[in-house]
Amino acid sequence: MGTITEVFATSVFSDKVMKERLPADVYAAMKRTIHHAEALDPNYINTVAAAMKDWAISKGCTHFSHWFQPLTASTAEKHDSFLLPKGGMSAIEAFTGKNLLQSEPDASSFPSGGLRGTCNARGYSVWDPTSYAFVKNKCLYIPACFVSYTGEAMDKKIPLLRSVEALSKEAVRLLHLCGKTDVHYVRTTAGPEQEYFLIPYDLYMKRKDLQYTGRTLFGAKPSKGQELDDQYFAAIKPQVKVFMEDCNIELWRLGINATTEHNEAAPCQHELAPIFDTTNISNDTNRLALDVMKTTAQKHGFACLFHEKPFKGINGSGKHNNWSMATDQGENLLNPTSDPYHNTQFLLFLAAAIQSVSDYSELLRVSIATAGNDHRLGALEAPPAILSVYLGDELTAVVNAIADGKKYVSPVKTTMNVGVAAIPELKKDTTDRNRTSPFAFTGNKFEFRMSGASQSISEPNMVLNTIMAETLRKFANRLERAKDFETAARKLIREVFKREKDHIIFNGNGYSKQWQEEAARRGLPNHATTPEAISVYDKPEYVKLFADHAVLTPDELRCRKAVMFDNYVNQIKIEAQTMCEMVIRDILPACFGYSTELSVTDSSAAAEIGVRVNTLTDDLYAATKNLEKALEGLKSAGIGEEKAYYTRDVIRPAMDAVRAPADELETIVSREYWPIPTYGDILYY
């Protein structure tokens, strides 16, 4: 393959390729667009398109596609060939500026939450020049936005891009007040750490639940779970290592900085982390990485699972979203530097982040609310559904000193001695880590830990950027009027720290029962399930927030809310239907077969087991009939919110009632009869 640097980004229409293939003025304009968010001169688009086409054809491409992110769980693409017939059976390869700029995929079947009817189905995909085009499977992929005929956002990218601009505008105002007048633009950065399961593909294909829903709907706890913690950071299995190597090469080719890989807490669970980039590029490359991981896994005989909770009783998968802000001069605005206490600019941005989470924690909760993530949040493996901010010892000391008006003594960087002469002294961090916090300061960025593994990071980042824009705007409004900036800024910082130190800031154990009670006393919202979380999305103050910053119009927001309810209901409905199918067509026939065998076996053990099998089989059948009835009831359970609550309160419990006898049957029915691979089969290979 060559060295990493030889392979890296060879499938990307990168800066390097642009420099080689574009005239100098066009290249410079593209760079300004990508790095400084300046609109590209329309006169240059034909030139860029021609260069892109020639490059893609040199890479073996026959097709091009706008690649966009509708309001579903996946990405969308429609391929068109470069072929243009010229009469007399001749043809040329063509790709114009118009082809690059926009396409009309129609795509009337994507959810819009009512933004458009199927009768006015026009929708356009529009080139996003701030994310890099790439080639894959002989096709040129062009990252794109997806808008309706009337210009409304029907995808996950447009609001994210708008939110970056909103934040940039307000952050620049504040930075100018801080004396950084050379800053023109602020970008938000994200580094998503991706968790996933890798299981044998042949076993995956034997389970309809995994195929249809991404998670197991049945499965008894195996005799060995994760209690020994012998998987976490353990040596990677050779066949998994081969998968990872292959996957890395493919990701590197696509310009994705995959760096860290290790085994996670659960058996068969792993993590892959890239190096951070802008939130827009990180969002695109994360979607792309999931695709690459899935297809590469299949080549190696594995199925790659991104569901938030593929196995009951075993840790699920999240996607920690590391987030920060950086200026066009390259300064990370969440870098505390060596003296955070005296660094007013850093403290302003820190205070703004804290206040934003405090004021808008419900929106962060909505941004990651899905049926899949409900299994994970608060299940002692992921943060609870309550938002709080963890700062660590060093910053907490700074915050407390400022809030209480006390003198701050900075911690001395200490060293640690392992107690072995041959090992040199180690530098110790001034702050420990807290794995249980949903929003933790980790050195020079915040880590938002509530997102689910399968989710797009566009929504949480869109919310983070927007709520931050709002707080920065409030700060800038106030400080622009101040006579003495430094005094006014320190006063503002103190007010925020005083108010929040025993409110949204919490450094303790987020998994504990006491925290739930304490959080309730503090008045922090706790929306345990998705329907509750979604229902507050269009509170008047939130509608106003998104409208004020031109991130979502009131219509766009309400439509998104409707789509979220629909997705929640549909996901669980498919799970319930799959359960019924598996019980009737797989599990019950197996139980009948085994029961018959027991009945002709002349032994008291067989008789005793037979009674238990028959009782559980009857329970299972009754519970399944009940679930079918609940599903029937869904048809008349209203729309949107009402349907979602019905799903949560009637269907979900009916599903649990089906699972219980089935899982017990699995533990007593002979292996020979049991029709689906068990957790033990799947997780220990």
Smallest distance from the beta carbon of 445 to ligand ADP, in angstroms?
A: 4
Q: CB 433 → ligand ADP: shortest distance, Å? A: 7
Closest to ligand ADP by CB, 256 or 314: 256
Contact 63, 74 (CB under 8 A): no
* Of residues 115 and 354, the one with the C-beta less far from ligand ADP: 354
Binding site for ligand ADP (CB under 6 A): 189-191, 193, 260, 273-276, 322-324, 332, 442, 444-445
What CA–CA distance (Å, rounded) separates 575 from 208? 10
Taking alpha carbons only, the member of 396, 394, 386 closest to residue 357 is 386
Minimum CB distance to ligand ADP, residue 469 (Å): 17
Q: Produce one character per residue of 645-668: b if its CB has 16 or more CB atoms within 10 Å, e if not.
A: bbbbebbbebbebbbebbbbbbee
Residue whose CB is less far from ligand ADP, 159 or 191: 191
**CB 258 to ligand ADP: min, Å:** 10
Question: Of the candidates 588, 662, 293, 626, which has an alpha carbon nearest to the alpha carbon of residue 453?
Answer: 293
Do 658 and 629 touch, CB atoms closer than 8 A? Answer: no
Rounded to a whole number, what is the distance in angstroms from the first to the last CA of the chain?
29
**Distance (Å, rounded) from C-alpha 55 to C-alpha 12?**
10
CB of 328 to ligand ADP, least distance (A): 15
Whose CB is nearest to ligand ADP?
191
Task: Choose between 216 and 286: whose C-beta lies nearer to ligand ADP.
Answer: 286
**Least separation, in Å, of the C-beta of 367 and ligand ADP?**
17
Provide the 3-class DSSP secondary structure of residue 25. helix
Q: Which is nearer to ligand ADP, 191 or 610 (CB)?
A: 191
Q: At what angle do helices 485-500 and 392-404 cross, to 10 degrees?
A: 110
Q: Which is nearer to ligand ADP, 323 or 546 (CB)?
A: 323
Comparing CB distances to ligand ADP, the nearer of 276 and 360 is 276
Distance in Å, CB of 178 to ligand ADP, minimum: 19
- Note whether 453 and 196 are within 8 A (CB): yes
Q: What is the C-alpha to C-alpha distance for residues 322 and 319, in angstroms, rounded to an integer?
A: 9
C-beta closer to ligand ADP: residue 105 or 438: 438
Contact call for residues 654 and 577 (beta carbons, < 8 A): no
91 backbone dihedrals φ, ψ, rounded to 5°: -155, 160
Q: How far is the CB of 188 from ligand ADP (least distance, A)?
A: 8
Contact 362, 533 (CB under 8 A): yes
| Token pair belonging to 379 | 């299940």
Q: What angle do CA 477, 480, 481 make, to 5 degrees?
A: 95
Our CB check for ligand ADP shows the closer of 281 and 559 to be: 281
- Cβ atoms of residues 442 and 320 within 8 Å: no
Give the type of residue at 222. Answer: P
Taking the complex as a whole, the smallest distance from the CB of residue 189 to ligand ADP amounts, in Å, to: 4
When the beta carbons of 4 and 242 are compared against ligand ADP, the nearer one is: 4
Nearer to ligand ADP, 333 or 683 (CB): 333
**Nearest distance, CB of residue 325 and ligand ADP, angstroms:** 8
Place of tokens 């292959």: 246
Minimum separation from the CB atom of position 321 to ligand ADP (A): 8
Longest dimension (CA), the chain: 96
Residue 664 φ/ψ, nearest 5 degrees: -70, -40
Measured CA to CA, the distance from residue 359 to residue 207 in angstroms comes to 44
Would you say 252 or 276 has its CB closer to ligand ADP? 276
538 CB-contact burial (10 Å; exposed 0-12 / middle 13-18 / buried 19+): middle
Least separation in angstroms between residue 390's CB and ligand ADP is 12
Closest CA to 218 of 662, 675, 626: 662
